[in-house]
């Protein structure tokens, strides 16, 4: 179970001063205006990061993820464009701060006391646990006394600091540090059996289990670690004050709650066998239908369309349910007729019809629903019919919730099967609990598919770079070429706790 929590109370308490200064238009002394003024004058917020589950990049180098969206919102708050610099490891991030190449850094960074001499943390915006991770199928360690084997963490990371502190309690504890791999790469090495243990934060682990189902949590090493942005330490506090005001406004607008729901609302549960089955199918079955999902997705992410089809039929074109829905997209007879599908068992017709029906449902939604939430409302209607989804919105309004918020509406879906509630609604009884699970499953399949395909592409690029570094350098940035060349082997490891 992952331990994640948004630090609203901390943000509100700490931001009292900044509210007085910024929102009431009280002027800072000139010296304290410098950094924010320079950013605004430049028209660009420079942020350095590393590729991670919190901020990842597709093949077009377009960013997405919790950290990306939060950072983009902060740039919008300042009224400037966002420029992202992707680095290979944590040390390079802090070097960017020291050298003035970045205004702040973000990479799901935990609060690190050893960085405070040169770097200043921004407000805490999330809380995670540190977890010991091992390979599923081997004996699960119950404490650090049971750790026997290659235990690797990133150099100069909070994980390394934690182990240094625990060394006093566990004098036989041994581990190694590397600067050549970040958190997600170490988890991949673990999944491949190249190392035996690593230490990582709970949200990264929960998301990486979607593409590496054979990594498992042994136990929490520590709880309640804050995630922070980091700035260069100086006497100029204007950027930190701006961050405090931004997070205070974000709390009022429930931005962090919505981002938490969007990116992490579906990762709390993990099914090893289901995930393993899905990944196997990605490699063996998806290539047959991938071109069709791409062809008919239109404004929908083709990977989301594929995830819907997996939830519906497990990519079986002959799938038939007891209620008579059939095909890859499991269309009913009326829906197929409306969408112009003559043969529901024909893969192309089924995908074309399912995509068209989903677009139709999206078009029927109220314009007051935010773009990010519209697809989830449409999917619930795809599962239980549009009328029942409208009933769920109505019930949400009656109970004082926001009918345009998926977070609020999905909480009411299970109530549609209870007579106390459905008797007063327009369309009556519905298996709302099934619609709830249906949407959550699709969200986690979609996230797994996106992450797995990105990881697969990265590995292919690594192999290409190893065979022909010059060819790779002609198609990739210098930073990425350097990063890939580091990953051809484990490199030099700094050992701790080993007999000299």
User: Where in the sequence numbering do the catalytic residues fall?
Assistant: 312
Q: 425: which 2 tokens?
A: 């609604």
What DSSP letter does each residue of 197-232 carry, written as one string?
A: EEEEEHHHHHHHTTT-TTEEEEEEEEEEEEE--EEE
**Nearest alpha carbon to residue 231 among 246, 245, 241:** 241
| Element (DSSP H or E) covering residue 44 | strand 44-50
SS3 of residue 175 by DSSP: strand
Contact 394, 425 (CB under 8 A): yes
DSSP percent split of the chain into helix, strand, coil, nearest 5? 50, 15, 35
- Contacts of 127 by beta carbon, 8 Å cutoff, 6+ apart: 3, 4, 5, 6, 7, 224, 225, 226, 227
Say how far apart CA 259 and CA 25 lie, in whole Å: 29
- End-to-end C-alpha distance for the chain, whole angstroms: 38
Say how far apart CA 350 and CA 318 lie, in whole Å: 11
Q: Provide the phi-psi class of 491: left if phi over 0, else alpha when psi is between -120 and 50, else beta.
A: left
Q: Which residue has the tokens 């981002």?
A: 259
**Nearest alpha carbon to residue 249 among 68, 6, 77:** 77
Say how far apart CA 13 and CA 334 lie, in whole Å: 56
**Nearest alpha carbon to residue 135 among 216, 201, 202:** 216
Buried b (16+ CB within 10 A) or exposed e, 454-464: bbeebeebbee
Q: Which residue has the tokens 């182990």?
A: 163
Task: State the number of CA atoms in the 13 A half-sphere of 499 facing the CB.
Answer: 0
SS3 of residue 240 by DSSP: helix
Say how far apart CA 451 and CA 46 lie, in whole Å: 26
SS3 of residue 178 by DSSP: strand
Say how far apart CA 373 and CA 353 lie, in whole Å: 22
Task: State the number of CA atoms in the 13 A half-sphere of 202 facing the CB.
Answer: 25
């Amino acid at each position: 179970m992952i331990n994640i929590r948004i630090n609203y109370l901390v943000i509100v308490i700490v931001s009292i001063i900044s509210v007085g200064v910024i929102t009431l238009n009280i002027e800072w002394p000139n010296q304290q205006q410098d950094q924010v003024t320079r950013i605004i004058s430049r028209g660009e917020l420079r942020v350095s990061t590393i590729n991670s589950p919190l901020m990842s990049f597709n093949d077009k180098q377009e960013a997405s993820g919790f950290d990306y969206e939060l950072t983009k919102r902060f740039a919008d708050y300042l009224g400037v464009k966002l420029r992202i610099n992707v680095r290979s490891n944590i040390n390079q991030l802090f070097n960017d701060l020291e050298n003035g190449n970045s205004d702040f850094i973000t990479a799901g960074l935990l609060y690190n006391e050893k960085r405070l001499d040169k770097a200043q943390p921004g407000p805490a915006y999330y809380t995670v646990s540190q977890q010991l991770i091992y390979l599923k199928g081997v004996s699960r360690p119950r404490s650090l006394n049971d750790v026997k084997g290659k235990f690797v963490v990133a150099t100069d990371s909070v994980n390394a600091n934690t182990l240094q502190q625990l060394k006093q309690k566990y004098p036989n504890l041994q581990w190694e540090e590397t600067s050549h791999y970040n958190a997600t790469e170490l988890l991949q090495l673990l999944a491949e059996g190249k190392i035996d243990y690593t230490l990582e934060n709970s949200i990264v682990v929960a998301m990486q289990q979607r593409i590496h189902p054979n990594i498992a949590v042994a136990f929490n090493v520590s709880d309640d670690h804050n995630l922070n942005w980091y700035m260069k330490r100086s006497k100029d506090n204007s950027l930190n004050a701006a961050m405090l005001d931004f997070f205070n406004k974000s709390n009022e607008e429930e931005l962090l709650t919505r981002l938490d729901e969007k990116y992490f609302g579906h990762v709390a549960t993990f099914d090893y066998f289901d995930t393993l089955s899905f990944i196997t199918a990605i490699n063996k079955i998806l290539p047959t239908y991938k071109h069709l999902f791409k062809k008919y997705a239109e404004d929908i992410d083709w990977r989301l369309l594929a995830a819907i089809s997996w939830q519906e039929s497990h990519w079986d074109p002959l799938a038939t349910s007891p209620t008579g829905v059939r095909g890859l997209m499991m269309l009913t007879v009326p829906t197929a007729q409306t969408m112009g599908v003559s043969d529901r068992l024909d893969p192309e017709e089924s995908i074309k019809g399912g995509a068209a029906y989903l677009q139709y449902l999206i078009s029927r939604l109220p314009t007051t629903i935010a773009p990010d939430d519209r697809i989830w409302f449409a999917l619930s209607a795809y599962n239980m019919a549009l009328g029942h989804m409208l009933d769920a919105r109505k019930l949400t309004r009656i109970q004082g919730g926001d009918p345009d918020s998926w977070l609020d509406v999905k909480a009411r879906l299970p109530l549609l099967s209870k007579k106390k509630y459905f008797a007063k609604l327009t369309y009556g009884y519905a298996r709302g609990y099934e619609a709830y699970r249906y949407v959550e499953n699709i969200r986690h399949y979609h996230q797994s598919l996106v992450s797995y395909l990105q990881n697969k592409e990265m590995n292919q690029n690594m192999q290409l770079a190893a065979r022909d570094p010059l060819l790779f350098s002609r198609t990739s940035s210098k930073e990425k070429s350097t990063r890939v060349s580091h990953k051809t082997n484990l490199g030099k490891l700094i050992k701790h706790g080993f007999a000299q």
